[in-house]
Amino acid sequence: MKYIFLTGGVVSSLGKGLTAASLGTLLEARGLKVALQKFDPYLNVDPGTMSPFQHGEVYVLDDGAETDLDLGHYERFTHSELTQFNNLTSGRVYQTVLEKERRGDYLGKTVQVIPHVTDEIKQRVKEVGEQSGADVVITEIGGTTGDIEGLPFLEAIREFALECGRGNSIFVHVTYVPYIRAAGELKTKPTQQSVAKLREIGIVPDILVCRTEKPINEEMRQKISLFCNVPVDGVIEEIDVEHSIYEVPLMLQREKMDALVCQELGLETSPADMSEWEAVIQRIIKPQHQVRIGVIGKYIHLQDAYKSVYEAVTHAGGANDCAIEIVRVDSEDIERDGAAAHLADMDGILVPGGFGERGVEGKVLAAQYARENNVPYLGLCLGMQIACIEFARHALGLDGAHSAEFDAQTPHPIIALLDEQQNITDMGGTMRLGAQACALTPGSKAAELYGTEEINERHRHRYEFNNAYREQFEAQDFVFSGTSPDGNLVELIELKNHPYFMATQAHPEFKSKPVQAHPLFAGFIKAAHERANGN
């Protein structure tokens, strides 16, 4: 088994996760099986308890693990099968070590960062490799070189590389080469310093991926090579992509990064066949048509809060030959100005998941606008709950209808706490999480789109549709088009006599891929396209 360790230098937000995922794409296209994993040095046991302001989106896996959003890139770019073991935080490491200490597993020893914490980290690299049966394990270390909290991880991968023997592992350092406008120059000093920092702890990078906004010329490559002690063909330029993040693998291929990685690891393969990937990208970046989609949320100012949603919409655009203009609308602006002021130009309205009361009324107005004006609507998790509240208030006349999450005293708790949640007090990892089966109603739009009547989608919620109200809804144009197999939990709803009004309690965005747009998103964009451009 071969191992690639990916670290980051100079600044955060360099797209390390994208780089790791793109390398995975290329290695798979060479016929190799890859496994990807992410180490996060913070002390939260998982990111599930963190606000999107802190952390961006929480990505959910089939097994219910709440993980870093980089795992979303891994799944979208590769076939790597991910479980809770593919994301490890310092918090989880310490939790495990301390449990062992309490059990007496350390047999009277002093428990220390080296070797006990580092052993735990190394063990995880080994386990992910063994369980996946992969040819190559790509491990991304979160944070930036020089962070105090990252040190045990760096020490662990240094030891790991030593122990697995020469030629079996490489270090890739993703760094930043800033362009200083006033000087008209790219600067290599931060990269030199970051590499020096790594060398201090005994890690010598084999490959430097240089994130830059301007091309790195030959002279610059020579300079980076010399000062950073990396062969010149190991200096890889990763320039900002023009159109789409899905171009990154092709860019790295042009830089011959995959060939170099295989050479260094002694992996003999044929060149990467990227023809299918290229075809997908062409559809994404050169579409015939255009649609405008309003995404209504309270974290719309954050780049990463609805990451998978934006990606899934992009994939659906590719599938429908449409460029997507995503208009991020703050739900509180709708509360202030009314829905028409912000949504009149939209071809589709999407309300993603969320927690907490702020901005909820704006989302209700957005759902009402979509329903009454025949604008395609897609509701995800909270977006489904919102659609139900809106329908109850305005179509069924149930004044004050609400979710018990936002109004404990509501006369009509259309959305109520799941039974299984009644006695839960801990916040971490206790929602209804991960893949849940769902039976679709024959003849529904959802069944038509999925092309099957049994589906599985990922979840992350505490509240559900209140079954006491089902009959009232069903008497109208409202269709419960998917439920848990026992019929108990409402999973999908849609409206009759509307071009496309679909909402799900699940998070289908987590299962959309560029090569395979998700049916609910594809159907949504198709309807938006029909609205915008006619049939």
Piece of 68-76, 192-200, 301-309, 352-360 that binds ligand GLN (CB under 6 A): 352-360
Smallest separation (angstroms) from ligand GLN to the CB of 64? 13
Binder to ligand GLN among 450, 463, 478, 510 (CB under 6 A)? Answer: 463
Q: Does 381 bind ligand GLN (CB under 6 A)?
A: yes
DSSP string, 393-433: HHTS--TT-EETTT-TT-S-EEEEE-GGGTT----TT-SEE
Q: Which of 251, 168, 268 is nearest to 211 (CA)?
A: 251
Binder to ligand GLN among 353, 362, 376, 482 (CB under 6 A)? Answer: 353
Q: Which residue is nearest to ligand GLN (CB)?
A: 353
The SS3 of residue 452 is coil
Site for ligand GLN in 401-420 (CB under 6 A): 405
Q: Which of 402, 412, 507, 518 is catalytic?
A: 507
Extract the tokens encoding 374.
């025949």
Piece of 94-102, 115-123, 348-356, 446-454 that binds ligand GLN (CB under 6 A): 348-356
Q: Does 506 bind ligand GLN (CB under 6 A)?
A: no
Q: Does 434 bind ligand GLN (CB under 6 A)?
A: no
Piece of 70-78, 365-373, 455-463, 509-517 that binds ligand GLN (CB under 6 A): 455-463
> Is the CB of 445 or the CB of 458 nearer to ligand GLN?
458
> Is the CB of 6 or the CB of 416 nearer to ligand GLN?
416
Between CA 355 and CA 440 the distance in angstroms is 26
**CB-CB contact of 5 with 141 (8 Å):** yes
**CB-CB contact of 257 with 19 (8 Å):** no
Smallest separation (angstroms) from ligand GLN to the CB of 149? 28
52 Cβ contact partners less than 8 Å away, ≥ 6 residues apart: 58, 299, 302, 304, 305
Site for ligand GLN in 260-279 (CB under 6 A): none
Smallest separation (angstroms) from ligand GLN to the CB of 317? 23
Q: Which of 419, 437, 460, 427 is nearest to 65 (CA)?
A: 460
Smallest separation (angstroms) from ligand GLN to the CB of 251? 34
Helix/strand/coil (H/E/C) assignment for every residue in 464-524: EECHHHHHHHHCCCEEEEEECCCCCCEEEEEECCCCCEEEECCCHHHHCECCECCHHHHHH
Extract the tokens encoding 147.
């962070």
Is 381 part of the annotated catalytic residue set? yes
Q: Does 382 bind ligand GLN (CB under 6 A)?
A: yes
Q: Does 354 bind ligand GLN (CB under 6 A)?
A: yes
Q: Does 508 bind ligand GLN (CB under 6 A)?
A: no
> Is the CB of 92 or the CB of 461 nearer to ligand GLN?
461
Smallest separation (angstroms) from ligand GLN to the CB of 382? 3
Piece of 110-118, 302-310, 350-358, 480-488 that binds ligand GLN (CB under 6 A): 350-358
**CB-CB contact of 198 with 173 (8 Å):** yes
Smallest separation (angstroms) from ligand GLN to the CB of 54? 16
Piece of 118-126, 182-190, 280-288, 458-466 that binds ligand GLN (CB under 6 A): 458-466
- Number of residues in contact with ligand GLN under rule CB under 6 A: 10
Smallest separation (angstroms) from ligand GLN to the CB of 5? 33
Q: Which of 57, 494, 509, 529 is catalytic?
A: 509
Smallest separation (angstroms) from ligand GLN to the CB of 24? 27
Q: Does 388 bind ligand GLN (CB under 6 A)?
A: no
Between CA 228 and CA 100 the distance in angstroms is 41
Cα angle at 403 between 400 and 358, to 5 degrees?
Answer: 95
Between CA 291 and CA 171 the distance in angstroms is 42
Piece of 137-145, 288-296, 322-330, 353-361 that binds ligand GLN (CB under 6 A): 353-361
Q: Which of 210, 322, 381, 438 is catalytic?
A: 381
Identify how many contiguous H helices and E strands the chain contains and give both numbers. Answer: 19, 23
Is 301 part of the annotated catalytic residue set? no
Smallest separation (angstroms) from ligand GLN to the CB of 395? 22
Is 509 part of the annotated catalytic residue set? yes
Q: Does 460 bind ligand GLN (CB under 6 A)?
A: yes
Q: Does 355 bind ligand GLN (CB under 6 A)?
A: yes
How far from 478 is each of 69, 232, 392, 473, 496, CA to CA, in Å?
Answer: 34, 63, 10, 6, 6
128 Cβ contact partners less than 8 Å away, ≥ 6 residues apart: 35, 37, 85, 86, 137, 139
**Which amino acid belongs to residue 78?**
T
Peptide bond into 249 cis (omega under 30): no
Binder to ligand GLN among 461, 498, 511, 531 (CB under 6 A)? Answer: 461
HSE-up of residue 213 (Cα within 13 Å, Cβ side): 6
Q: Does 462 bind ligand GLN (CB under 6 A)?
A: yes
> Is the CB of 162 or the CB of 424 nearer to ligand GLN?
424
Extract the tokens encoding 232.
């010149």
Between CA 112 and CA 123 the distance in angstroms is 16
256 Cβ contact partners less than 8 Å away, ≥ 6 residues apart: 233
Smallest separation (angstroms) from ligand GLN to the CB of 375? 21
> Is the CB of 463 or the CB of 473 nearer to ligand GLN?
463
Between CA 408 and CA 529 the distance in angstroms is 40
Q: Does 529 bind ligand GLN (CB under 6 A)?
A: no
Piece of 113-121, 245-253, 290-298, 351-359 that binds ligand GLN (CB under 6 A): 351-359
Cα angle at 21 between 15 and 23, to 5 degrees?
Answer: 105
Q: Which of 3, 292, 287 is nearest to 136 (CA)?
A: 3
The contact set with ligand GLN (CB under 6 A) reads: 353-355, 381-382, 405, 460-463
Q: Residues with catalytic annotation? A: 381, 507, 509
